[in-house]
Amino acid sequence: MKPASTPSETAGASRPRTVVVGGGLAGLAAAAALADAGLAVTLVESRRRVGGRAASFEDPLGGLVDACQHVAMGCCTNFLDLCRRAGIEGTLRRDRTLWFIGPDGARSACTPSRMLPAPLHLAPLLLGMRHFSLHERWALTRGMLRLARHGVAEGGSRQTALDWLRLAGQPERVIRLFWQPVLESALGESIDLVSVTAARKVTVDGFLAHREAADLLVPTVPLGTLFGERLAGWLATRGVEIRTGTAASAVEVDPAGRVAAVRCAGERLPCAALVVALPWRQAARLLPDVVPDADERLAGSPITAVHLWFDRDVVDVPHAVLVGRVSQWVFRAEDTAGYCQVVISASRGLLGGDRERLVDTVVGELRDVFPLACEARLLSSKVVTDPTAVLSVRPGVDAVRPQARTATPNLFLAGDWTATGWPSTMEGAVRSGRLAALEAAHSLGHAAAPLVADLPRNPLVRLLAGRG
Ligand SMILES: Cc1cc2nc3c(=O)[nH]c(=O)nc-3n(C[C@H](O)[C@H](O)[C@H](O)COP(=O)(O)OP(=O)(O)OC[C@H]3O[C@@H](n4cnc5c(N)ncnc54)[C@H](O)[C@@H]3O)c2cc1C
């Protein structure tokens, strides 16, 4: 941080000016909450469009294609609340049925019950997994219940998910064909690296806690439209000034040790409070005294999306988990004929980084399980890998994820990597932005809304997994 050339300023006599740096979901959520708290807000985003990692690119035919398919779950209460408030919730399709396609191509349509109380609502989902024997389904059920009951007292915080699953006696096939695809896609990291704490969070919050927890919320319009245009447009109607193509390059501190202004390409933006909503590396560059750049516990995990354009539709379900294969999830496009996307999490070193081989493998796997793909001709493909797509939630990482509040009284951190208790997800990002805005508003004597509560837990769930 640089010393300020002038004392701290506020723009506008009545409403203190706050600045948010970074227009990903964390920054957008922070800006919304600050505006709601009655503060003037300027958001600066270095790219041409807001949305951050939840972004789209222009496809060869001129439409917007998501760099990587993003889905939320029913348990993502703050993300869904933001979408509801912004009027974009209707563009999220709610899939209650999870499609699993086993190694032999057997399809399982797994739907949690809407009648049975949680966690019994999962019985039809677990029983529906045709690629498992009855013994394996029972082992999986026991594993989920045992993981839910697993507490810090069992010394789990240093344990990886895979270590825990093996110690808990989960059969290797159940690990490979359920835990691996489910945890790796939810956490974006391989199960031999993620902590058992993170695995437990997915199992409890994402499956057991509520009948709607495991619902998949799939955007039906490109992310660039959803967040880059509609969410940004809603923020503008709430008085948030959004400056895209504007990178913050330095933060000025006044003699009293408070942030006075942000510098962006020669321009100086005075502020009464600053929320920095950047990924940890960029945050460390802007705030070297605040964010530990070199902490090896902050590591990223890669996610790869394989975009495929066939001459006709090949995927005949809305989405599917392809278990026991290189391809992990496949998503059918809503409105682009012949287009589908395959997502592979924790894609470090995938097939030696050979893109051609990857496309051949993925297309071969689709032809194994979707008869329509056998006849179809591949017209075009594109592989997009984000090497630091998400924070790798390894054992011990929670100790270095910073809180929103910093030692500088009017400087606050947000971003999916900060201490939200959530993995690096859209929900984690929105929570972080709201938490930072709450602190920033309080620091200026304004009240801001608290986080939206998790889905309610019934007594049975509370008995099993605690209050959350
Ligand atoms: C491939 C992939 C797949 C994913 N899949 C899912 C999924 O299915 N479900 C899910 O919930 N989550 C998913 N995620 C995670 C999700 O995208 C992130 O957790 C979330 O978008 C992070 O938001 P953020 O605001 O914390 O950070 P970001 O989105 O990274 O936002 C930071 C913003 O800051 C901007 N910026 C950087 N430097 C500056 C600067 N100096 N000045 C101004 N602006 C700057 C960047 O351009 C960016 O817009 C996925 C992520 C990736 C990459």
- The string of DSSP letters for 343-382 reads EEES-TTGGGG-HHHHHHHHHHHHHHH-HHHHHPPEEEEE
Ligand 1 centre to CA of 354 (Å) is 26
Supply the pLDDT for residue 13.
Answer: 53
Ligand 1 centre to CA of 55 (Å) is 8
Q: Is the CB of 8 under 6 A from ligand 1?
A: no
Query: Could you identify the atom of ligand 1 that is nearest to the CA of residue 384?
Result: 1
Supply the pLDDT for residue 296.
Answer: 76
Specify the domain boundaries for CATH 3.90.660.20 within the chain.
Answer: 300-391
Q: What is the CATH number of domain 1-96+219-294+392-468?
A: 3.50.50.60
Q: Which residues of 257-272 are buried (b: 16+ CB within 10 A; e: fewer)?
A: ebbbbbbbeeeebbbb
Residue 185 CA: distances (Å) to CA of 51, 348, 351? 21, 14, 18
Q: What would you report as the CA-atom Rg of the chain, rounded to the nearest whole angstrom?
A: 23
Which amino acid, 107? Answer: R
Q: Is the CB of 248 under 6 A from ligand 1?
A: yes
Q: What are phi and psi for residue 38, nearest 5 degrees?
A: 90, 20
Total count of residues recorded for the chain:
468
Query: Could you identify the atom of ligand 1 that is nearest to the CA of residue 428?
Result: 19
Query: Could you identify the atom of ligand 1 that is nearest to the CA of residue 51?
Result: 49
Q: What would the DSSP string read from start to end of 26-74?
A: HHHHHHHHHHHTT-EEEEE-SSSSS-TTS-EEE-TTSSEEESS---EET
Query: Could you identify the atom of ligand 1 that is nearest to the CA of residue 303?
Result: 1
Query: Could you identify the atom of ligand 1 that is nearest to the CA of residue 432?
Result: 26
Q: Is the CB of 205 under 6 A from ligand 1?
A: no
Q: Is the CB of 54 under 6 A from ligand 1?
A: yes
Q: Identify each DSSP E strand in 56-215 by its residue range.
A: 56-58, 64-66, 72-73, 92-95, 98-101, 107-110
Supply the pLDDT for residue 154.
Answer: 52
Q: Is the CB of 27 under 6 A from ligand 1?
A: yes
DSSP secondary structure letter of residue 331: E
Supply the pLDDT for residue 5.
Answer: 39
Q: Is the CB of 395 under 6 A from ligand 1?
A: no
Supply the pLDDT for residue 297.
Answer: 81
The pTM (predicted TM-score) of the whole model is 0.95
Specify the domain boundaries for CATH 1.10.405 within the chain.
Answer: 108-214
Atom 10 of ligand 1, residue of closest alpha carbon: 425
Supply the pLDDT for residue 300.
Answer: 95
Q: Is the CB of 243 under 6 A from ligand 1?
A: no
Low-confidence spans in the chain with pLDDT less than 70 = 1-13, 61-62, 151-157, 293-294
The CATH number of domain 108-214, selected from 1.10.405, 1.10.287, 1.10.3470, 1.20.140: 1.10.405
Ligand 1 centre to CA of 392 (Å) is 14
Q: To the nearest whole percent, how much of the chain has pLDDT over 90? A: 88
Specify the domain boundaries for CATH 3.50.50.60 within the chain.
Answer: 1-96+219-294+392-468
Asked if residue 242 lies in contact with residue 235, where contact means CB atoms within 8 angstroms, the answer is yes
Q: Superfamily for 300-391?
A: Protoporphyrinogen oxidase, mitochondrial; domain 2 (3.90.660.20)
Largest CA distance in the chain: 71
Sheet holding 98-101, edge to edge: 107-110, 98-101, 319-322, 329-332, 339-345, 300-310, 378-391
Atom 3 of ligand 1, residue of closest alpha carbon: 68
- 77 by DSSP, 3-state: which? helix
Mutate to test the pocket of ligand 1, among 92, 264, 278 (most ligand atoms within 8 A of CB): 278
Query: Could you identify the atom of ligand 1 that is nearest to the CA of residue 47?
Result: 47
User: Hey, how many other C-beta atoms are within 10 angstroms of the C-beta on 205?
Assistant: 27
